[in-house]
Amino acid sequence: MIKKCLIANRGEIAVRIIRSCKDLNIATVAIYSTADKDALHVQLADESVCVGGPQSKDSYLHMHNIIEAAILTGCDAIHPGFGFLSENPMFASLVSQCGLIFIGPSSDVIELMGNKINARKRMIEAGVQVIPGSIGAVKDEVEAVSIANTIGYPVMIKAAAGGGGRGIRMVNSQEELMKVFSPLKQEAKNNFSDDTVYIEKLFTKAKHIEVQILADKHGTVLHLYERDCSFQRRHQKVIEEAPCHLLSSEQREKICAEAIKVAKAVSYDSVGTVEFLMDERFEAYFMEMNTRIQVEHPITEMVTGVDLIRHQIRSAEGCKLTLKQEDIVIKGHAIECRINAEDMRRGFAPTPGTITFIHTPGGKDVRIDSAIYQGYTISPYYDSMIAKLITFGDSRLQAIKRMRGALEEFIIDGVASNVEFHYLTMHHAQFIDGRYTTDFAGKWIQELSEREPII
Amino acid sequence: MNQLFKKRKEQISIVQQFFNRVVKTEVKVVEASQIVICDGCKQAIAPESIKANQGVCIHCGYHMRMGAYDRLSLLLDEGTFREIDKKRTSFHVNDFSGYKKKLYQYQQAANVNEAVVCGSGQISGMKVAIAVMDSYFMMGSMGSVVGDKITKTIEMATQKKFPLLIVSSSGGARMQEGILSLMQMAKTSAALARLDEAGGLYISILTHPTTGGVSASYAMLGDIILAEPKATIGFAGRRVIEKTINEKLPDHFQTSEFLKEKGFVDQVVTRHQLKDTCAKLLQLHQGVNL
């Protein structure tokens, strides 16, 4: 049993993990960079260790310092959260080599799923429907063109090791493909030290649907139904909802069964997410699997009532899941807005600074996961997400209405935030209708920037 | 901080307008019966709270007009009132135009047959003869029937040796009945003189408004004269006097407080204390040592 856990992360997810640890009577150790000594996760954890300088690579990505901190404080586990080292197979294996529990899947699974080409291959073997495209790596332009011609334009060229919206190019024609192929290969080599790229068909009108997976080390794989994360700005999710209200129950069962198939194919044993693209015909294609807890996990927690981090820690300890698939039922609808410190009037540029006043909304079925407080200074070194605002309602419309009310109350002064953007979005007819696809957010932002500012 | 919430409210209203989500509401028309506007402070008050406060405004303490039967239940012990001449109504001798119709309308609306209700009752167990004027009936004006009923009450008090209480609220003599109504001033005054000779006690209670012929006769003839606060008491109207003497009159001219100051009224008593004050006066009259 884990008695003390180091949280190798910062911000709201570190706070979120500390809260679940407190529930489970697990002592917590926070790590922080010199820029983060006032951060909330440092104040809330039982102990805290400074692991390096403000740059992520000197602190939150510095594996040796983090593992050393865990050993010196007598921890028996490390929770990586999301981002940073959460999907780094080397870190996972280092942690287990040092005799600590890595709260997440094994390094092999992380490695397999981290490489998009290998993951695609494995899924094709397992009989999962993947996005049409190359089976493996694409060597050169000639091969790329022939594949693109068979699946049809537009296509996406992706770096195998890429992620988080980086290392992706959208291509509309053969000439364009010839033009971007080599630069992308070079970029991939520079950024991810791996220049393998692959091609996938691009669905312009598609929904991003993902299924939450919960598994243990005893072969139990459960799904916690789907989330709709189609509201994306530059491949970054901004608003998420659970469940996808367009799906019929048969379609929902089908996509969840597909996700279980994916997880079982790699003997998955932790919390993870299988991402699908769903076209207009509600045909779901496997995209990738995230082998970690996700930013948007609270909406699944809201509709299912399951504490995902608690189960993630328990299954990392080797406990058998106490939940059964039939116990997991969706009740109501939840929406999450990521509140970022960014200025919607200046192209969503990050706005670091000091929060001089904050008022967070409250009330029934309103949840805030955040790590900010009045007087806190948002540092420019890290992600600009400062809070997650989650509302729940019996129906989708009620959740939207609650979100509007919550956003009306949400006041952050001192730094610009995208609260107003979310508020405007909550009034957009297409959003309310719910039939928006992944290209909707981009168009909507374009529309907002072109006309006179509303507020 | 306050500013931030205010700014946010403005932003929200702009967005609501932009998305045409402004909620349009109609101002609800509250039926007149559900709300009372105080004549003193012009604020709206629920009828229930006025009733509970005996017709006194809960905001400014203004004493509103009161119907005769409400006044009787305020003053007398419960269930002791015996009315005389309940059904008597005015006749229309000289057939003043529209008078007949007007009488009928007021009888329906004010729920009394005439502008005065007379009879006998008990205040804290002490028998009294009582006449209460109802200003809701033709502004409590004194016609021949009103004068006659009051005279009968005075005579009852003289005969049975009851103390007499008259609660006045009247605009004066009833114009429609002409000289007959003016006659009542002399008639009631003469009856009161006989009461006085017989050694009877007469307590006159002046309420808003007590003016004209009533104030010039029995209202001002009490052995003891009490008045409700801020009641208008006088003979001719304020404007008439101002025009006649070409002088500006003081602000509280013709109010009970002004009359108290000048010695015309013995005491200004609030409605809540009215019964107690009457009871004490009656006890004193009976020789009870307070």
A373 and A308 assigned to the same domain: yes
In a domain, A123, yes or no: no
A309 and A372 assigned to the same domain: yes
Of B4, B14, B21, the CB nearest to A454: B14
Residues of chain A positioned with their CB less than 8 A from the CB of B4: 357, 359, 411, 413
Report pLDDT for B40. Answer: 81
A189 pLDDT above the threshold of 90: no
A294 pLDDT above the threshold of 70: yes
B37 pLDDT above the threshold of 90: no
Report d(CA A184, CA A192) in Å as an integer.
Answer: 11
Which residue on chain B is closest to A422 by alpha carbon? B15
Would you state the torsion angle of the CA atoms of residues B31, B35, B40, B41, taken in this order, to the nearest 10 degrees? -100
Which residues of chain B are at the A interface, by a Cβ-Cβ cutoff of 8 Å? 1, 4-5, 8, 11-12, 14-15, 18-19, 21
CATH number where A151 lies? 3.30.1490.20
Report d(CA A302, CA A330) in Å as an integer.
Answer: 9
In a domain, A111, yes or no: no
Pairs of residues, one from chain A and one from chain B, whose beta carbons lie less than 8 Å apart? 23
Residues of chain B positioned with their CB less than 8 A from the CB of A454: 14-15, 18
For residues A340 and A386, the answer to whether their CB atoms sit within 8 Å is yes
Q: Which residue has the higher pLDDT, A409 or A347?
A: A409
B29 pLDDT above the threshold of 90: no
For residue A62, how many other CB atoms are within 10 A of its CB?
Answer: 22
B94 pLDDT above the threshold of 80: no
In a domain, A182, yes or no: yes
A9 and A151 assigned to the same domain: no
For residues A286 and A123, the answer to whether their CB atoms sit within 8 Å is yes
Q: b/e string for A188-214 if b means 16 or more Cβ within 10 A?
A: beeebebbbbbbbbbbeebbbbbbbbb
A292 noted as active-site residue:
yes
A67 and A136 assigned to the same domain: no
- Give the residue numbers spanning the domain of A56: 4-103
In a domain, A243, yes or no: yes
Catalytic residue among A120, A292, A338, A396: A292
Averaged over A48-75, what is the pLDDT?
Answer: 92
A299 and A432 assigned to the same domain: yes
Q: What tens digit of pLDDT does each residue of A107-153 get?
A: 999 999 988 888 888 999 999 999 888 887 888 888 888 888 888 88
Backbone angles phi, psi at A400, to 5 degrees: -65, -45
Q: Among A413, A403, A322, A325, which Cα is nearest to A361's?
A: A403
Averaged over B5-30, what is the pLDDT?
Answer: 80
In a domain, A110, yes or no: no
Residues of chain A positioned with their CB less than 8 A from the CB of B11: 420, 455
Q: What residue spans in chain B does CATH classification 3.90.226.10 cover? A: 66-285
A24 and A139 assigned to the same domain: no
With pLDDT > 90 as the criterion, what percentage of chain A qualifies? 66
Is the ipTM, as predicted for this complex, more than 0.85? no
CATH number where A229 lies? 3.30.470.20
What mean pLDDT, rounded, does chain A reach?
A: 90
A161 and A272 assigned to the same domain: no
Report pLDDT for A147. Answer: 86
**DSSP for B118-145, written as a single string:** EEEEEETTEEEEEEEE-TTTGGG-B-HH
B102 pLDDT above the threshold of 90: no
**DSSP for B196-239, written as a single string:** HHTT--EEEEEEEEEEHHHHTTGGGG-SEEEE-TT-BEESS-HH
Q: Among A262, A248, A281, which Cα is nearest to A212's?
A: A262
For residues B209 and B169, the answer to whether their CB atoms sit within 8 Å is yes
Residues in chain A: 455
Beta-sheet pairing, A166-171 with A155-163 = antiparallel
In a domain, A362, yes or no: yes
Determine the 3-state secondary structure of B40 from DSSP: coil
A70 and A192 assigned to the same domain: no
A258 and A151 assigned to the same domain: no
- Is B104 buried (19+), middle (13-18) or exposed (0-12) by CB count in 10 A? exposed
Residues of chain B positioned with their CB less than 8 A from the CB of A423: 12, 15
Would you state the torsion angle of the CA atoms of residues B13, B14, B15, B19, taken in this order, to the nearest 10 degrees? 100
Specify the CATH number for B66-285; select among 3.90.226.10, 2.102.10.10, 3.40.50.12500, 3.40.50.720: 3.90.226.10
In a domain, A296, yes or no: yes
Q: Among B279, B265, B123, which Cα is nearest to B208's?
A: B265
Q: Among A311, A273, A276, which Cα is nearest to A289's?
A: A273
Residues in chain B: 290
- Is A249 buried (19+), middle (13-18) or exposed (0-12) by CB count in 10 A? exposed
CA distances from A278 to A244, A284, A305 (A): 11, 4, 26
Averaged over B90-119, what is the pLDDT?
Answer: 85
In which band, very low, low, confident or very high, does the pLDDT at A453 lie, cut at 50, 70 and 90?
Answer: low
Q: What tens digit of pLDDT does each residue of A201-213 get?
A: 888 889 999 999 9
Determine the 3-state secondary structure of B57 from DSSP: coil
Beta-sheet pairing, A236-242 with A271-278 = unpaired
A259 and A381 assigned to the same domain: yes
Tokens 């012929």 belong to residue:
B213
Averaged over B38-52, what is the pLDDT?
Answer: 84
Tokens 């606060």 belong to residue:
B229
Report pLDDT for B55. Answer: 86
A282 and A305 assigned to the same domain: yes
B19 pLDDT above the threshold of 80: no
Last residue of a domain, one of A154, A182, A201: A201
A250 pLDDT above the threshold of 70: yes
For residues A172 and A148, the answer to whether their CB atoms sit within 8 Å is no
Q: Which of A373-377, B101-105, B123-127 has the lowest mean pLDDT?
A: B101-105
Report pLDDT for A164. Answer: 60
Q: What tens digit of pLDDT does each residue of A413-447 get?
A: 999 999 999 999 998 889 999 899 988 999 998 88
Of A411, A413, A454, the CB nearest to B18: A454
Averaged over B188-210, what is the pLDDT?
Answer: 94
What mean pLDDT, rounded, does chain B reach?
A: 89
Residues 6+ positions from A99 with CB-CB distance below 8 Å = none
Last residue of a domain, one of A183, A201, A219: A201
Query: CB distance B18–A413 less than 8 Å?
Result: no
Q: What tens digit of pLDDT does each residue of B157-171 get?
A: 999 999 999 999 999
Report pLDDT for B22. Answer: 67
Backbone angles phi, psi at A174, to 5 degrees: -65, -45
For residue A299, how many other CB atoms are within 10 A of its CB?
Answer: 28
Of B8, B11, B15, the CB nearest to A427: B15
The model carries a pTM of 0.70
A359 and A431 assigned to the same domain: yes
Query: What's the CA angle centered on B126, arms B123 and B129, to 5 degrees?
Result: 75
The total number of structural domains in chain A stands at: 3
CA distance B24 to chain A (A): 18
